[in-house]
């Protein structure tokens, strides 16, 4: 065991159920401040493009970016509108307070630490929230699918995370996530150990049936060292 790689949403951040259409409405209200009809239509168009992209993630593991979604919807981009979108999402971005002491403990054991997330957000947005919460420096590598051709559970996504951590043997890695298909099936398919955090309310439209069994189940991040102790020499 040489590296611990984490999912982000619902794993390093406690799960928050979000209204994706309302997030785009916050954006659209900045683009069309005095035209409710236009704002509703713009939000619906961007939301539809985003939902279609997430279905391609679910069914084909094809990565995408928010810039591509906005382009597909022929939606205008302004810094102020994107700030409104990010402000709506802020509630879902807060790092679990147990992350900093956990990551410090893992690094003291000589383990490398990473993040592999299926996300449309640019890396800079993610790095900014990790820096805000004082944990950015605790991760040796952060891999966001918005910089990749594929999302989880595609093997290439997991291999990109391994490469970023300078690890060549999948069995040297444990992956921790909240989605049985994307995280557990994906990690185990490449040969990693996988630990499930079973507390997220994954929308049914995003779920894919899987028979993969996690190597362990984690109810609190602070319990992770106890689980790893079973596997460390």
Cα 162 from Cα 116, distance rounded (Å): 10
Instruction: Supply the minimum distance, in Å, between the C-beta of residue 179 and Mg ion.
Output: 5
Interaction of residue 114 with Mg ion, rule CB under 5 A = no
150 is written with which tokens?
Answer: 């594929």
Work out which of 3, 6, 7, 162 binds Mg ion, going by CB under 5 A: 7
Is the bond preceding 153 in cis, omega lying within 30 degrees of 0?
yes
**Residue of 29, 50, 140, 178 that binds Mg ion (CB under 5 A):** 178
Which CA distances in Å does 161 have to 12, 28, 60, 92, 166? 16, 35, 19, 23, 9
Taking the CA atoms of the chain, what radius of gyration do you get in angstroms? Answer: 18
Nearest distance, CB of residue 195 and Mg ion, angstroms? 13
From 3, 10, 29, 224, residue interacting with Mg ion (rule: CB under 5 A): 10
Choose the stretch contacting Mg ion; rule: CB under 5 A; options: 8-16, 106-114, 124-132, 220-228.
Answer: 8-16
> For the chain, how many helices (H) and strands (E)?
9, 6
Question: Is the CB of 16 or the CB of 38 nearer to Mg ion?
Answer: 16
x/- binding map, residues 139-158, to Mg ion, per CB under 5 A?
--------------------
Binding part of the chain for Mg ion, among 73-81, 127-135, 143-151, 177-185 by CB under 5 A, reads: 177-185
Written as one string, the DSSP assignment of 37-95 is HHHHHHHHHHHHHHHHHHHHHHHH-B---HHHHHHHTT----HHHHHHHHHHHGGG-PP
Cβ atoms within 10 Å, residue 42: 23
Complex with Mg ion: residue 7 or 140, whichever CB lies closer: 7
Stretch of residues binding Mg ion (CB under 5 A), selected from 66-74, 108-116, 130-138, 170-178: 170-178
Q: Please report whether residue 9 would count as binding Mg ion according to CB under 5 A.
A: yes
**Binding of Mg ion by 180 (CB under 5 A):** no
Interface residues toward Mg ion, by CB under 5 A: 7, 9-10, 178
């Amino acid at each position: 065991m040489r590296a611990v790689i984490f999912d982000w949403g619902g794993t390093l951040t406690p799960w928050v159920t979000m209204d994706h259409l309302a997030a785009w409405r916050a954006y659209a209200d900045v683009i069309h401040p005095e035209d409710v009809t236009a704002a509703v239509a713009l939000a619906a168009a961007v939301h539809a493009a985003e939902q279609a992209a997430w279905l391609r993630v679910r069914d084909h593991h094809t990565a995408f970016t928010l810039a591509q979604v906005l382009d597909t919807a022929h939606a205008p981009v302004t810094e102020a509108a994107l700030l409104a979108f990010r402000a709506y999402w802020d509630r879902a971005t807060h790092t679990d307070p147990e992350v900093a002491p956990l990551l410090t403990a893992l690094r003291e054991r000589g383990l490398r630490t990473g993040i592999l997330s299926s996300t449309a957000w640019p890396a800079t947005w993610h790095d900014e929230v990790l820096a805000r919460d004082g944990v950015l420096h605790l991760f040796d590598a952060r891999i966001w699918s918005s910089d990749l051709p594929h999302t989880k559970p595609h093997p290439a996504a997991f291999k990109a995370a391994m490469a970023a951590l300078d690890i060549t043997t999948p069995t040297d890695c444990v992956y921790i996530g909240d989605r049985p298909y994307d995280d557990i099936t994906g990690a185990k398919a490449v040969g990693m150990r996988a630990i499930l955090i079973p507390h997220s309310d994954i929308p049914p439209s995003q779920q894919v049936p899987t028979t993969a069994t996690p190597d362990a189940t984690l109810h609190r991040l602070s319990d992770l060292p106890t689980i790893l102790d079973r596997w460390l020499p």
